Amino acid sequence: MATNKKKIFVTESMSQQGRALLDARDDIELVEFPNMISAKDFEAKLTEHAPVHGVALGGTGFGEPELEASRDMLVVTRIGVGFDAVDVPALSRRKVPLMVAGTANSPSVAEQALFMMLTLAKRAVEMHSIVRDNKWPSRLGMLPYDLYGKTVLIVGFGRIGTRTAKRCQAMEMNVLVFDPYKPAADIKAAGCEPVTDLDATLPRADFVSIHCPKTPETVGMFNAARLKLMKPTAYLINTARGGIVDEPALHDALVSGKLAGAGLDVFEQEPPPAGHSLFALSNVIFAPHVAGVTREAVDRMSEQTARNILSVLDGDPVRQERDQSGRALTPPAMTGSRTRPIDRSARSMRCAHGFQGIR
C-alpha cells in the first residue's frame, strides 16, 4: 500500500539515542540492515524496500548501484567521519548530499593514539608478561620510557590531530605539527611548532602520530624511505587509515631495528589476512579499527547522524563552513547553523575536505 512515510535504512550499529530521534517521527519508517551485509544483499534489500529516501551507513559501501536500487535517495549519511567506501562523484551527479558525523568521535581517536604511545613507551605488554610468567628478576632488563620531555610529530591537524596535541601537551611533550593545509599561525596558537618539511622533521621525533585522511596525496606516505629517516628509538602510531603506512616497509624497519615499535588501529586490508607478517612481532600493538568506536562515540555519532538525516528531510540541511582548502570550520549537527530550505533540484553538499579531516 502506498505511504507518505520516508523510508530510512539504518545499520544495526546505530545506537538507541539516534534511533529514538528517528522513531519519534510519525513520517519516518526505519529499516535495519546488518553491519557486514554483502554488496549484493544490500542492493537487493534496497530494491525490495524501494523507494528508500535515506541511509545511515557504517562501513557498507554505497555508490551508483545502490542509488539506482533506492530509486529516490535524498540523503546518505555515515555514522562516522571517513567516507572511503562512498562513491562521492556518483552522489554528486544525482545531487544527493553526503553527511558525516563531524567531531563526534575525535576525542575517542585522540585517546587511542595517546593510549598506544603510552602502551609502547611503558612496555605494557612486556611488564604484564613479566609478572604473569614469574620473570620478576628480568624486569630491570627492559625498562620503560617516559613521554615527559619527548618530541611527538603529529601529521594532520584537524579534529583529531588537534585533540591529540592537547593530550600530548598534558604529558609535557614537545609537539611538532606537519599539515600543509593548516596556517602556521593556527598551529602556533595551539602551543605547537609548525613544520613544513616532513622528511627533515622525522629525525627529530620520538613518536609520530598519523591523523590525516587517505587520499592520493597520502597513500604510501610512510614508505621505506621515510621510515629510514626516523630514529631507531622512535614509535609510529596510525589511527587514521590503512595504506598511509607501507606495511611491508614497516615490517622491515621493525625487524631490522630501524624503528622501535608501532601501534596500528588500521590496515591496508581490513580485516588483515591471517598470518600477516606484522603479527609475529612483539614490538607492535594492534586494534581492529575501533579507535573511534567507543560506547560514548557511537552514541554521539548516532545522534548526530539522525539529526543530519532529519535536517535534509525537513529541507533545512545542516551544512559545514569550509576554508579555501576544503577544511571544515564548523562540524555538522553540532552548532545548529542552518541553510535555507532546499528543493530536489538543488540538493547538494560539498563533501571534499582538506588534509586535516579524518574519521
232: preceding bond cis by omega (within 30 degrees): no
Residues 56-68 as b/e (b if ≥16 CB within 10 A, e otherwise) read bbbbbebbebbbe
Q: Is 289 a catalytic residue?
A: yes
Among the listed residues 123, 226, 251, 289, the single catalytic one is: 289
Q: Is 338 a catalytic residue?
A: no
Q: Is 53 a catalytic residue?
A: no
Among the listed residues 172, 217, 270, 296, the single catalytic one is: 270
Distance from C-alpha of 110 to C-alpha of 129, rounded to nearest angstrom: 27
Among the listed residues 159, 241, 300, 353, the single catalytic one is: 241
Residues annotated catalytic, as ranges: 241, 270, 289
